[in-house]
Amino acid sequence: MWINIYPDHISPYDSCRTLKESKADPAEVKVAVNLLKSLKKRLEEAQPQHTRLDAGFNKASFEDLMKRRFFYGLSNDIYGGVAGLYDLGPMGCALQANLLAQWRRHFVLEEQMLEVEATIMTPEPVLKASGHVDRFTDLMCQDTVTGENYRADHLLEAVLEKLIEAKDTPSELREKARTTIPLVDGLSGDKENLWRVMQEFDVRSPTGNPLSEPVDFNLMFSTSIGPSGNVKGFLRPETAQGIFTNFKRLYEFNNKRLPMAVAQIGKAFRNEIAPRSGLLRVREFTMAEVEHFIDPNDKSHKKFSLVKDVQMNLYAAADQEHARKPTVTTIGEAVASGMVANETIGYYMARIQLFLVSVGMKADRVRFRQHLSTEMAHYATDCWDAECFTSYGWIECVGCADRSAYDLTCHSKATGTELQAQEDIIPPVVKTVTEAVPNKQLVGKAFRKEAKFVNDALAALDSESAAAMGSALETSGKFTLKGTDANDYDITPEMVSVETKEKKFTVRNYTPSVVEPSFGIGTFYPILFIDCNCKQCG
C-alpha cells in the first residue's frame, strides 16, 4: 500500500522548517507545528498495522540472531565464504521441510499434478534454444576507479530511497524520487532509459566514484561436461526447462490429455551481480515450480469459480506507470475486467495467495505486482509477482507467468521433435490446403546428410508458406528454405511438388501454452520470521 505523506506542493515538515529559518512570528510557527503533529497522528492511524509494527524491527539484529542460532549461515565461512552462498542449519532445514510439505499438499496433491525431478546440469543447446544464453541478463555498472561491479537498478533504487528519507532533500526532488521508485523494476530491462534516469539523479558508486554505462551480464554459471571439456553446459537457472524437454513423455503418461500440470522442486543457480539481504538474493536457491499446460484457444479453468471471490491487492502495470495505488478487488472481477488476462493465471494467483496465508503470512501484507513490458522475461507474455511487505520493503517471493507456447515452440524448432498436443475434431472438417511434397530421392542426392533437415522443414510448412514457395519456384526457379537445423538450403522445382487439395481433418494439432507459478523458497524465511516477530510485538 503506497501512502502519500507529501502533498503535491510542499510537505508540512518543509513548511515548519521554512518558518523557523525565516524567524517567522512564534504564533505562526506554533500553528504549523501543531498542524504537523496532527498530520503525523492521522498518518499513523491511516497506516496499515503491519507498517507500524515493522517500524521497530531491527534488520541487523534479526539477521544476527538467525546466524547465531544457525537457521542459516554463510557457506564455508571459516575460509572467508563467498557472497550469495548460504548453508541451512537444523532449524532452517526443518522450516524448509515444512514449507515444501505444505506446498506439495496445497498444489501437487490437491491439484493432482504430476511431479518430476530433472537434472541440474543442462547442456548448452537446451538453454540456447530457450533464449537463456542470449537474454538471461541483468544490467551491470562498473566503478570507473576501483573496477567494482554493481547491479545498475539496485544502485538507482538505493539513491532514490536516500533522497526520499533525507530531511534536507528539496521537496520537488523528493517528490520526483517518490514517483520514480515504483518504476525502477520496469527500467531493469531498458538499458537506455535506466542510464538516462541514473544520470538524472547523479547515481554514483557507493564510494562516490563515477560509473560506466550499464552493460548486459549473463546470470548463468557455465561449466564443461565430461573429461574432454568439449561439451559445454550450465547450472540450470530455473527448473522449468527439464519439464519442457520431457513434455512428450509426460503428455503420453497423462494419456494425451490437457490441461496437465507438472511440478518440480529443486536447486537453481544464478550468478547474481550483487547478492544482498541475506537469503533474499542469493546465487544458489531452492525453487518450487509448476508448469500448467493448456490449449492456447481456451485458457479457462474448471475450478476458477471456487476462488473467484478471493480478495486481492493488485498493482497493475498501468497503475505503476502513473504512480497510482494498487487496486483491491476480487480475482473474479479482475479477470472479468481484463486486468488479469485469463482464468488460469487468475486461478493460480488466488491459489498462491491462499498458500501464502496457509504458511503464516498475512493477506494484508501481500500484493501482486504486474511486470511492466520493459522488465518482462523474454519467454513471458504476462507476469504477476506475489510480493510481501517486510522491513526490507516489498519482496518478491512468487512469480506467476504466462509463458504462452514459447518454450515448447523453441525446443521443437531446435530439435525437430514434435512437442504438440492433439484434440479430436467432431465432426471432422474439410479444408483446402497447400502442401510441399518432396522428391526424397533428389533431395537426398542433393543434400546427403542434411536431407533430413530439409524434408522435416518441408513437412512443417503451413499452407501459406507452401503456396509462397510454389510462387517463388515458378517465378525465379529457386527457393531458399530454412532447414530444421537453422541452415539455409536452395530448393529447385524438381526437388518438390507444390499441391493444393482438399483434406479432411479429424484431429487438431497445437502447441500448448504454459502458465507457470514459480516459488523462491529462500525468500520465505525473513518474511515468515518478521511476521512471527510482529505477532509477538502485537
In a domain, 419, yes or no: no
286 & 400 share domain: yes
Specify the number of domains making up the chain: 4
Same domain, 241 and 367: yes
pTM of the model: 0.78
- Is 231 found in the same domain as 122? yes
| Of 185, 218, 251, the domain-final residue | 218
Interatomic CA distance for residues 258 and 247, integer angstroms: 12
Question: What is the pLDDT of the chain when averaged over all its residues?
Answer: 86
My answer on whether 308 and 429 are in the same domain is no
Residue 366 covered by a domain: yes
Which of 391, 302, 397 has its CA nearest to residue 103? 397
Cell of 83: 557472497
Residue range 414-443, pLDDT digits in tens: 988 999 999 988 888 888 888 888 888 888
CATH at 435: 3.30.720.200
Asked if residue 122 and residue 36 are part of one domain, the reply reads: no
Q: Among 218, 235, 260, which residue terminates a domain?
A: 218
In a domain, 418, yes or no: no
Within a domain: 469: yes
Residue 499 lies in a domain: yes
CATH number of the domain bearing residue 244: 3.30.930.10
Residue with cell 554459471: 221
Same domain as 520, residue 492: no
Same domain, 164 and 285: no
- 160: domain CATH number is 3.30.40.230
- Is 267 within a domain? yes
3-state SS, one letter per residue, for 356-405: HHHCCCCHHHEEEEECCCCCCCCCCCEEEEEEEEECCEEEEEEEEEEEEC
The answer to whether residues 246 and 329 belong to one domain is: yes
Residues 294 and 267 occupy one common structural domain: yes
183-219 confidence digits (pLDDT tens): 887 787 788 889 999 999 999 999 899 999 999 999 9
- Residue 2 domain flag: no
My answer on whether 233 and 324 are in the same domain is yes
Contacts of 158 (CB under 8 A, 6+ apart): none
pLDDT digits (tens, 9 = 90+) for 63-116: 888 889 999 999 999 999 999 999 999 999 999 999 999 999 999 999 999 999
Residue 85 CB-density burial (10 A; 0-12 exposed, 13-18 middle, 19+ buried)? middle
User: Same domain for 67 and 176?
Assistant: no
Domain range spanning residue 191? Answer: 138-218
Looking at the fold, whether 265 and 363 belong to one and the same domain comes out as yes
